[in-house]
């Protein structure tokens, strides 16, 4: 047997799973810590499938049986706990300043790696696709939820045709996406451990011929299964914390690139919004003016590299 863990195997085989297997994979992905210690019967009951489905699922993933599959899940949990222990040993006698310097240095490294590996053509395609879409759907669950919220907030401020999928219920996710079609774009954000709910949303969008843009950590991410445009940003797990600094920088760049591409529309929308704020006294007079039209129009055109990508 190879050394690929159970979660990675589920991600790799997700597209060829049956309906029941996908439901089981989604439950395990979201509840690994508890699923690893359940019997096949208990796991099936919790996931809403039969015990025999759980056993066959283990064979489907390439294990000799459920005990081996369960052992692989347990190893995933132990690995996570081990990383916490290692972090505790590393920083046991470190000062607070040493900790912050170390963490910030690691985050700087992640941004540098992302800059070196980002696919400029994929970035341009993503910006063009979003700019042309009739409706924009943004989804990110668990640790990716803040990134999705940040992106959706600014896209909505700019365009207004934005749907932020905020629920964690797969049924409600489909309810919010039921009208998605080939004229729309769905932006899915997910990092290890990848969200099966986000992956199902990507699959659904793809089945409706919608454009799919993913923001994830690797070209090997299962999020890329249904995407025509993949944007990768490095995100390493530090104990129980996922570093989202590089992905946030990527989202920031996307917002700025869209602002520059649709400057007139963005300025008009923001002017209208500020007029509403003023009429209804949403903000007091000591608030900073949200719109600086000159700053938007004169923003440096070089987004990355040395070449003007805004032409």
Rg for the chain, CA atoms, rounded: 22
Mark whether 62 and 151 lie in a shared domain.
no
> What contacts 191, CB < 8 A, 6 or more positions away?
143, 144, 216, 217, 235, 242, 244, 247
Mark whether 129 and 233 lie in a shared domain.
yes
pLDDT per position as a tens digit, 111-135: 998 888 888 999 999 999 999 999 9
The CATH number that applies at residue 82 is 1.10.10.10
Burial of 177 (0-12, 13-18, 19+ CB in 10 A): buried
Q: Is position 98 within any domain?
A: no
> What contacts 140, CB < 8 A, 6 or more positions away?
146, 147, 148, 149, 188, 189, 190, 198
d(CA 76, CA 33): 9
DSSP 158: H
State mean pLDDT over 209-233: 87
Q: Is position 205 within any domain?
A: yes
Which has more confidence, 299 or 170?
Answer: 170
Mark whether 129 and 257 lie in a shared domain.
yes
How many CA atoms lie less than 13 Å away from 116 in the CB half-sphere? 7
pLDDT per position as a tens digit, 86-116: 555 455 566 667 778 877 888 888 899 888 8
Mark whether 20 and 82 lie in a shared domain.
yes
Q: How confident is the model at residue 308 (pLDDT cuts 50, 70, 90)?
A: very low
Relative to beta strand 162-165, strand 136-140 is parallel
Mark whether 126 and 46 lie in a shared domain.
no
pLDDT beyond 80 at 278: no
Mark whether 257 and 121 lie in a shared domain.
yes
pLDDT in the model for residue 161? 87
pLDDT per position as a tens digit, 184-207: 999 999 887 788 888 889 989 999
d(CA 169, CA 126): 27
Q: Is position 25 within any domain?
A: yes
- Are the C-beta atoms of residues 165 and 173 closer than 8 Å to each other? yes
Could you list the residue range(s) of the whole structural domain that residue 233 is in? Answer: 117-261
d(CA 219, CA 227): 11
Mark whether 144 and 233 lie in a shared domain.
yes
pLDDT in the model for residue 274? 72
For tokens 């508890």, the residue is 34
How many domains are there within the chain? 2
Mark whether 141 and 250 lie in a shared domain.
yes
pLDDT in the model for residue 266? 73
pLDDT beyond 80 at 310: no
């Amino acid at each position: 047997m190879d050394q690929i863990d159970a979660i990675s195997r589920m991600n790799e085989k997700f597209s060829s799973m049956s309906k029941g297997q996908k439901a089981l994979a989604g439950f395990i992905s979201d509840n690994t810590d508890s699923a690893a210690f359940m019997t096949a019967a208990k796991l099936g009951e919790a996931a809403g499938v039969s015990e025999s489905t759980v056993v066959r699922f283990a064979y489907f993933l390439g294990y000799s049986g459920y005990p081996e599959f369960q052992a692989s899940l347990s190893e995933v949990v132990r690995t996570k706990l081990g990383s916490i222990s290692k972090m505790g040993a590393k920083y046991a006698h470190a000062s607070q300043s040493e900790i912050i310097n170390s963490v910030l240095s690691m985050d700087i490294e992640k941004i540098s790696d992302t800059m070196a590996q980002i696919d400029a053509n994929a970035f341009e395609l993503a910006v063009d696709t979003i700019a042309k879409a009739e409706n924009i759907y943004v989804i990110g669950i668990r640790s990716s939820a803040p990134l999705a919220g940040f992106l959706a907030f600014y896209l909505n401020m700019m365009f207004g045709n934005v749907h932020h999928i905020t629920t964690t219920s797969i049924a409600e996710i489909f309810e919010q996406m039921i009208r998605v079609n080939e004229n729309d774009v769905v932006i899915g954000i997910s990092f290890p451990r990848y969200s099966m709910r986000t992956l199902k949303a990507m699959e659904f969008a793809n089945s409706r011929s919608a454009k799919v843009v993913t923001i994830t950590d690797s070209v090997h991410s299962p999020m890329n299964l249904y995407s025509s445009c993949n944007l990768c940003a490095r995100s390493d797990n530090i104990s129980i914390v996922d570093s989202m600094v590089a992905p946030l920088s990527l989202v920031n760049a996307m917002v700025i690139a869209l602002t520059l591409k649709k400057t007139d529309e963005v300025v008009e929308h923001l002017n209208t919004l500020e007029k509403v704020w003023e009429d209804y006294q949403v903000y007091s007079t000591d608030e900073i003016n949200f719109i600086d039209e000159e700053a938007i129009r004169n923003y440096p055109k070089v987004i990355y590299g040395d070449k003007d990508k805004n032409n």
